[in-house]
Amino acid sequence: MNPDLAQLLSAAQLAADRAAAFLLQQEGRLGPEDWAVKGRSDFVTEIDLAAERLIAAVLLQAVPASRVVGEELSPDGRLDGLAWIVDPLDGTTNFLHRFPMYAVSIAAALDGEPLVGVVHNVPGGVRYHAVRGGGAWRGGEPISVSSVTDPRQALIGTGFPYCELHQLPLYQRQFEAVIRGSGGLRRPGSAALDLAEVAAGRFDGFWELALSPWDVAAGALLVREAGGVITDHAGNPAVALRRGSVVAGNPAVYSWLKGVLDAARET
């Protein structure tokens, strides 16, 4: 492994581990009166903010020449040069309800292209990582996308457009089409973990209509290094550069899923 990539991976893993430990300590501490609302069904708390500050401190100490673009403290940060793309708590609503599906997501990117990605499943105590050209890993074990090719056997992950309700009619058409053609559909509530599950071969595909770079930057690298495909709905692979749609999967299921979603968009 390139020593620079090794340094980036080490910093990301350390930051994710420390944030995960902090989140576990805080789970269940806040009541509904402590939840701030950024948008419809989009909550933020002092815990999200503290976790991002903790992560930023670790990353910038390890790599002083970098910058942090994080969901809570610096969402409008520039992605040129060496930047960390951080979601300190992906699945905040799950966390607040003590539903055990939330994660820390950290990617190191150069001019918006992920080089290193770490997704830490906090309740599960499992850390995924990927390095460009170095494969994808769950703990110390290599992972790869599934070998399912028949859509009728495929398990697909998704996310609902809670924050962009104007997309509901499109999503409902896509939902029906995927339900009719696949073997099953799941919505755990953390896009970072959904993409990690695609990389690990548990989900055969995944789609969502409105995600931000910090939701997908680390997971996108996991999927690609595990042998999968991830793009927006137009086929653009630069999903870590802007907010938008995402479709991912092993090569066969990705091709089927994108075709189904495209057809639903045109009706």
The full DSSP string for 81-111 is: SEEEEEEEEETHHHHHTT-S--EEEEEEEET
Q: Cα-flanking dihedrals φ and ψ of residue 158, to 5°?
A: -155, 175
109 and 221 assigned to the same domain = no
Domain limits for position 223: 151-266
**Cα first-last separation, the chain:** 47
Q: Are strands 126-131 and 135-138 parallel, antiparallel or unpaired?
A: antiparallel
Q: Which of 142, 168, 183 is the last residue of a domain?
A: 142
Whether 8 and 103 share a structural domain: yes
Query: What pLDDT, on a 0 to 100 scale, did the predictor assign at position 41?
Result: 46
Three-class SS state of 117? strand
Which tens digits make up the pLDDT trace of 191-250? 999 999 999 999 999 999 999 999 999 999 999 999 999 999 999 999 999 999 999 999
37 and 117 share one domain:
yes
Q: Residue 35's pLDDT is what?
A: 61
> Domain check: are 206 and 126 in the same one?
no
164 and 96 within one domain: no
- pLDDT at site 164: 82
pLDDT of residue 239: 95
Looking at residue 37, its pLDDT comes to 59
Owner of token pair 């697909």 = 156
CATH of the domain at 186: 3.40.190.80
Looking at the fold, whether 176 and 227 belong to one and the same domain comes out as: yes
Q: For the chain, which ranges sit under pLDDT 50?
A: 40-41
Which of 48, 58, 52 minimizes the C-alpha distance to 13?
58
Q: Do 77 and 167 share a structural domain?
A: no
The 10s digit of each residue's pLDDT in 75-93 is: 888 899 999 999 999 999 9
* Residue partners of 33: CB distance under 8 A and separation at least 6: none
| pLDDT attached to residue 33 | 67
| Domain match, 177 and 254 both | yes
15 plus 64 within the same structural domain: yes
Which of 95, 112, 142 marks a domain boundary? 142
Q: Do 27 and 111 belong to one domain?
A: yes
**Token pair for 12:** 């990301």
- Do 51 and 156 fall into the same domain? no
Both 79 and 110 in one domain: the answer is yes
Per the structure, the count of domains in the chain is 2
SS3 for 196-234, per residue? HHHHCCCCCEEEEEEECHHHHHHHHHHHHHCCCEEECCC
